[in-house]
A and B are shown apart, each in its own frame.
Chain A
Amino acid sequence: ETGVTQSPTHLIKTRGQQVTLRCSSQSGHNTVSWYQQALGQGPQFIFQYYREEENGRGNFPPRFSGLQFPNYSSELNVNALELDDSALYLCASTYQGSGANVLTFGAGSRLTVL
């Protein structure tokens, strides 16, 4: 098992810019989900990808989008950044189809929007 890795660990953007965050899922995991965690809060579910298609979404606008690739990597893209997008973004992966499957999380990407 290689775990879940995310990059970059920290980044700073200005309002209106676009950002791409990357995640490498654990080998064999066919499902990846992304979370936004504001400072001092619990993570909020953004969306989930299964076999390269989005199949679940939380209460986030369309400017949050994603991609999942066959090599267990995935991306979170955020367009037209707003100040409130400043947060820790967590990627998590699991294998769908095994009951009480457990999410394995990465260490996150800390985004600051100025």
Chain B
Amino acid sequence: AQTVTQSQPEMSVQEAETVTLSCTYDTSESDYYLFWYKQPPSRQMILVIRQEAYKQQNATENRFSVNFQKAAKSFSLKISDSQLGDAAMYFCAYRSARWSSNTGKLIFGQGTTLQVKP
């Protein structure tokens, strides 16, 4: 069974600085997808960034980028130029590409609460 681990329950960053959130996962599959979701106090999960395992190039979305290390099964999120609105709980998630029954099945980590200090 696949697992996702986020070892940092809480992180804090100064506004305009850079922060990196860690995520490791365990799987025996070679084809899968990885995601970072943000959950603000409004509770709605918002997609931050996604990575296809078959792509070696790290995904980037504006101020958000990932460091995807497939051999090490590591998928960290870097937030540059942190803003007050980035404060939220961040979840790393894994999805198998193997079966259609996995389409809606994400395996989440425990989450990292990010505090942004003005």
Question: In this complex, which of A94, A103, A108 has the most chain B Cβ atoms within 10 angstroms of its Cβ?
Answer: A103
Q: Is B15 interfacial (CB 8 A cutoff)?
A: no
Query: Does the CB pair B101–A55 fall under 8 Å?
Result: yes
Question: In this complex, which of A48, A56, A100, A101 has the most chain B Cβ atoms within 10 angstroms of its Cβ?
Answer: A100
> When chains A and B are docked, how far (Å) is the Cα of A105 from the Cα of B100?
19
Q: Is B110 interfacial (CB 8 A cutoff)?
A: yes
List the A residue with the shortest CB-CB distance to B110.
A42
For chain A, the bracket of interface size reads: 20 to 34
A56, A88, A102: the one within 8 Å of B43 (CB): A88
B: number of interface residues (CB 8 Å): 26
Q: Is A23 interfacial (CB 8 A cutoff)?
A: no
Query: Does the CB pair B103–A105 fall under 8 Å?
Result: no
List the A residue with the shortest CB-CB distance to B104.
A33
Contacts of A101 in B (CB 8 A): 103
Given A105-B44, A107-B43, A108-B44, is A48 in contact with B105 using a C-beta cutoff of 8 Å?
Answer: yes
A sample of 27 cross-chain residue pairs with beta-carbon separation below 8 angstroms, ordered by A number, consists of A31-B103, A33-B104, A35-B106, A41-B110, A42-B91, A42-B108, A42-B110, A42-B111, A43-B45, A43-B108, A50-B104, A55-B101, A56-B105, A92-B104, A94-B103, A94-B104, A96-B103, A96-B104, A100-B33, A103-B47, A103-B104, A105-B46, A106-B44, A107-B43, A107-B44, A108-B44, A110-B43
